[in-house]
Structure 1
Amino acid sequence: MTTVNLHELKAHLSEYARRVKSGETVVVCERNKPIGEFRPLPTAASRLRPAPGLFRGQIQVTDDFFLVNDELAASFEEGGAE
């Protein structure tokens, strides 16, 4: 951990940013009194997405899946269920 006064941090910000990027924490001071920290953010755990086609061959859609259910369609035409 490095301690640096605000004036020094402003003058050499890119140098301290490189240090933070590499994992170091920098304590920022004003007149030698700590006021904050400049530190790397925690890395978010990435979740792997399932591969496309993961369930291929396990799920089947029958031909009647796309047929209109007359009773259901009529309830939409009448203004909904009452």
Structure 2
Amino acid sequence: MTIVTIHKAKTDLSKLIARAEAGEEIVLARGNKPAVKLVPVEEPQAKPRIPGAFAHLRGKIPDSFFFDSLPEDELEAWEGKYSFDGEM
């Protein structure tokens, strides 16, 4: 583990980043007190896609849910009949 002051880290930041990426543990300190650790960012592991993961949901929603007309009052609401204009 290498301890480097923040002042020194400002000067040698790119070198310290390269060392951390290579696996070295770098600690930045305020004076003699350790403050933060410089570590490389790990790439997130992508989970493999599983075909048919939601197959159990097929057939649960009837076609009428998508294709039937909305009730008249709901259509009016979408058209702005019941919108709030800021006055009460």
Q: Same fold (TM over 0.5)?
A: yes
5+ residue gaps, structure 1, are 56-68
TM-score by length of structure 2 reads 0.53
Give the CA RMSD over aligned residues: 2.9
2:6 alignment counterpart: 6
1:15 alignment counterpart: 15
Runs ≥4 in structure 1, deviation > 6 angstroms? none
Q: Which residues in structure 2 correspond to 1:1-82 (within 5 Å)? A: 1-49=1-49, 72=64, 76-77=68-69, 79=71
Task: Measure how far apart 1:45 and its partner are.
Answer: 2.2
SS at match of 1:77: coil
5+ residue gaps, structure 2, are 53-62, 73-88
SS at match of 1:45: coil
Aligned length: 61
* Overall identity of the aligned pairs, in %: 26
